[in-house]
Structure 1
Amino acid sequence: MGGGRLVIDLFGPPYEIGLKHGQALAPQILSQLQIYRGIFADTCKYDWPQVLEVAEQFRATIGRLAPDLLEEMRGIADGVGQSDVGLLDIVALNARSEIALGQWDDGCTALAWKLGTSGKQLLGQNWDWRASVGENLALMSIRRVGKPTIWMVTEPGIVGKIGFNSSSVGVCLNAIRARPISTDLLPIHLLLRTALECDSLDAAIATFETLGGAASSQHILIADAHRARGLELSPRGGAYLREDADGLIVHTNHFLQNRLVDEPPWLSGSPFRLEKARALCGEIVKEVGPVPLGDAVNAALLRRRVFANTENSPQAICCSPDPARGPLAKIETLFNIVMTFEDGKQPRAEVVFGRPGSGAETRVVYNMPW
């Protein structure tokens, strides 16, 4: 995977933000809709009219709990400028994790690391998903009056994803396959966006609790310049993970503490990735020794030493396609992001598209803010 990436800057009221989003990324949004038609048909045997029936239930919920984001989605649909693309199509993209009733099989390895007494907080992940989606990914900034500026990597048509804001609040996401699903709560991608509109980790958690939780079982790893929490969310309630003795929270694709949902084992590599990432970070701690961690550990080091690891391939931290699976289910690491937050300094992040350390990733390291 190479070449330049689409970088778009959005600003204004919600509908205008959505309109510009739809206009700027119309070909990619049409591609995403085509891709997800195939994925829904393959994974849960839904045709598109069935998908839109569930999307209608979420449309009502979003209108009640996050009306600004529904207006933004309306703008996206209008911006695409195709008579056969309406609001419900965009709602379906934003509720894709929920409409599939927990049948997705995306991976992802995420970690947050408070680096000793340095005051530096790192937050990063490999995002693993269908290879066909990879070419459509875009870098996006969103500015609204009275809210922090947001920078994120997103799938076109989706209003919230992985990234951070000008108040040094960042989010990563790990998919969890579990039931139940609730159409009375916000889809996870809208909760990610909601968090990115908050000015602290505590404010984001309070907002989630006010909204009643997540429509599906998911893990949001959230951090600001002071701390991190692993939020194991579900329609039945959540569990919040704290840093270990080394300042680390590591998470993959199974719940560690949340026992409120029906979660059958699904990705056999998830426990391996969890322990491997912890072990690799532990090796770094031992090697650094008395040198302050904040001086030695940065985004480039984590990409090289942790996120590029290919042990237990194809279900490795750096995920590669499984040759035993068909082309529609070709899953691999599509990007790596590492965010850095320090009190009193501008937050920043580095993004590499493709599998880090593979030689096939983008040679360019994309910096946020740009």
Structure 2
Amino acid sequence: MPATRYPELNVSGSPRQLGEQIGEALREQLRGFCDIALERVRKTTRISREAAHRVAAAALPLAEEYSPDSIAELRGTADASGVSLLDLMLLQVRNQLRDEPDHACTSLSFGPPFTPQRLLAQNWDADPALDPFTVVLTRRPTNKPAFTTLTQAGLIAYIGGSTSGIGVCLNALPAPSRFAPDGMFEPPLAGAWGVPHYFTVREIYEARSLEAAATAVRRATRAIPASIMLTTPEGPANLEVTPAAVCVQTSSETGIVVHTNHCLEPELTPFNTQFPELIQSCARLSRVQTMLGQVRGTLTTPAAIALLQSILRDHSDYPRSLCRHVNDDPQHGFWQTVFSVIIAPETGEMLIARGTPCDQRYETYAMG
């Protein structure tokens, strides 16, 4: 994997102008990601392009009703890049086409009293084939907060932070999906009916508080479950999201919130016995908690960043570790830590290691 910085792009203006600038600048990455996205879905799910396009087409009016500005941006991207709108929508719904999640992550959010500056971090464990299509993209929409995401080209939103003090990391959460009406799609397209997840993430970046962020998710007809780790002006938080519930988890006493890839909210924990554990999720959570349990007192910001880097580089139970490497697991052995990121909204910076953080340095990127 290349040990270099990710490409960076800044766009500004109306929704359509944002899309046009993205389409012109990232034309090749968009086409490449569209070409590979369905291929990667087919690693675990049998699906035709025609069936996938039917899901994308069904999601389009739902997404447009929920966030018309986001669809206006995608239309601009499609026109400027020559990539069809349905193919761009396919990127947004691809995680709804699988029988299982397409990535696993370990995420943490720090804030007072644990450390004075709010920090958010995660390892993104997924398919390294997606690295060439990953960029650091800053959008400055007219009359809305600017935000920067570490994202694959074409996604309407992904991991990052905003000028309103919101930071977002994303974890897969094995739990029920929303089922399509009978006969709408042939199997295995059962969990594909609703507003695609990335559109709700986009609305979170436009929020200015934890309550507004949670409301942005609650007002969507949600298609799939997800864990959304946040830093907000009120402090660290995590949203455990299913089609039926949005549970807000905070920790005002400790200033620490940690999540991997299983449900922690009491009303959702029964799902942990119904769905297979995703690449040692419980063991990863336990390891992070053990490392945090060794820390005493309040940390300075540099010490907190060093701690986060130490956790994200940890090799306990290597190669199935927090810093994950290719291994012999028959299902997920090709997954590895594709990038590691630490987000500091108060200083407008992201620290990103492109590749496994044990052997790649964290580089600083400006946000917003």
TM-score (norm 2): 0.89
Answer yes or no: is 1:157 the counterpart of 2:166: no
CA deviation profile, 1:134-191 (whole Å, cap 9, x unmatched): 1221001000121111011001110100001011101110012332235553221111
Question: Aligned to 2:89, which of 73, 88, 91?
Answer: 91
Q: CA deviation at 1:296?
A: 5.2
2:34 partner letter: L
1:340 partner letter: A
1:83-232 maps to which residues of 2 (within 5 A)? 85-100=83-98, 102-116=99-113, 119-181=116-178, 183=192, 185-212=194-221, 214-232=222-240
SS at match of 1:249: strand
Partner residue, 1:340: 344
SS at match of 1:302: helix
Q: CA deviation at 1:121?
A: 1.4
* Distance in 2 (alpha carbons) for counterparts of 1:78 and 1:319: 38
Go from structure 1 to structure 2 and tell me whether the alpha carbon gap of 1:117 and 1:274 turns closer, same or farther (over 3 Å shift). Answer: closer
Q: CA deviation at 1:267?
A: 1.7
CA contact (8 A) 2:114 2:256 kept: no
CA contact (8 A) 1:110 1:125 kept: yes
2:218 partner letter: E
Unmatched 5+ stretches in structure 2: 180-191
Go from structure 1 to structure 2 and tell me whether the alpha carbon gap of 1:268 and 1:324 turns closer, same or farther (over 3 Å shift). Answer: closer
SS at match of 1:180: coil
Question: Aligned to 1:301, which of 286, 289, 307?
Answer: 307
User: Aligned residue pairs: how many?
Assistant: 352
Identity %: 25
SS at match of 1:120: coil
* Distance in 1 (alpha carbons) for counterparts of 2:259 and 2:38: 29
CA contact (8 A) 2:163 2:345 kept: no
2:313 partner letter: A
* Distance in 2 (alpha carbons) for counterparts of 1:177 and 1:117: 30
Partner residue, 2:259: 251
1:94 partner letter: Q
CA deviation profile, 1:298-331 (whole Å, cap 9, x unmatched): 324311x2000122233311111123448x9621
CA contact (8 A) 1:105 1:267 kept: no
CA contact (8 A) 1:114 1:121 kept: yes
Go from structure 1 to structure 2 and tell me whether the alpha carbon gap of 1:260 and 1:52 turns closer, same or farther (over 3 Å shift). Answer: farther
CA deviation profile, 1:68-107 (whole Å, cap 9, x unmatched): 11111112222222xxx3111101101221232x422411
Q: CA deviation at 1:335?
A: 1.1
Answer yes or no: is 1:321 the counterpart of 2:305: no
SS at match of 2:11: strand
Q: CA deviation at 1:118?
A: 5.2
Partner residue, 2:30: 29
* Distance in 2 (alpha carbons) for counterparts of 1:68 and 1:55: 18
Answer yes or no: is 1:279 the counterpart of 2:290: yes
Unmatched 5+ stretches in structure 1: none
CA contact (8 A) 1:122 1:338 kept: yes
CA contact (8 A) 1:110 1:172 kept: yes
SS at match of 1:8: strand
TM-score (norm 1): 0.88
Q: CA deviation at 1:40?
A: 2.1
Cα RMSD after superposing both structures: 2.2
Tell which deviates more after alignment, 63-72 or 35-44. 35-44
SS at match of 1:211: coil
Partner residue, 2:363: 365
* Distance in 2 (alpha carbons) for counterparts of 1:147 and 1:80: 25
CA contact (8 A) 1:178 1:261 kept: no
CA contact (8 A) 1:142 1:151 kept: yes
